[in-house]
Amino acid sequence: QKEVEQDPGPLSVPEGAIVSLNCTYSNSAFQYFMWYRQYSRKGPELLMYTYSSGNKEDGRFTAQVDKSSKYISLFIRDSQPSDSATYLCAPQGAQKLVFGQGTRLTINP
């Protein structure tokens, strides 16, 4: 079993929809939880991160962590075609990031 599991999709939704992206993890030592966005043939770009359990909002993006169930979520409101990318959850273990497989998201105009 992988330390971080993420549904690879692909996920395709119409413009303006609310998108929910999710990961589960097994290592209870994780304290920081990152979300990266990666466009095709580019390096990952940090979207936002949360510490421990709770919610964090940044514009149209909301990150949620539930440490009791080891569940991580990213919500995108009012999705735009420019949000089309692969989204990677990445809990931080000690110094390194442990990435999920990534969910490929397409927002259709």
Partner 1 sequence: DTGVSQDPRHKITKRGQNVTFRCDPISEHNRLYWYRQTLGQGPEFLTYFQNEAQLEKSRLLSDRFSAERPKGSFSTLEIQRTEQGDSAMYLCASSLRGGRQLTDTQYFGPGTRLTVL
Cβ partners under 8 Å of residue 57, min gap 6: 63
Output 51 or 77, the one with its CB closest to partner 1.
Answer: 51
Considering the complex, what minimum distance in angstroms separates the CB of residue 78 from partner 1? 26
- Taking the chain, what is the end-to-end CA distance rounded to the nearest angstrom? 37
Output 15 or 58, the one with its CB closest to partner 1.
Answer: 58
Task: Compute the CA torsion angle 55, 88, 59, 106 (nearest 10 deg).
Answer: -130
Considering the complex, what minimum distance in angstroms separates the CB of residue 27 from partner 1? 13
Considering the complex, what minimum distance in angstroms separates the CB of residue 88 from partner 1? 5
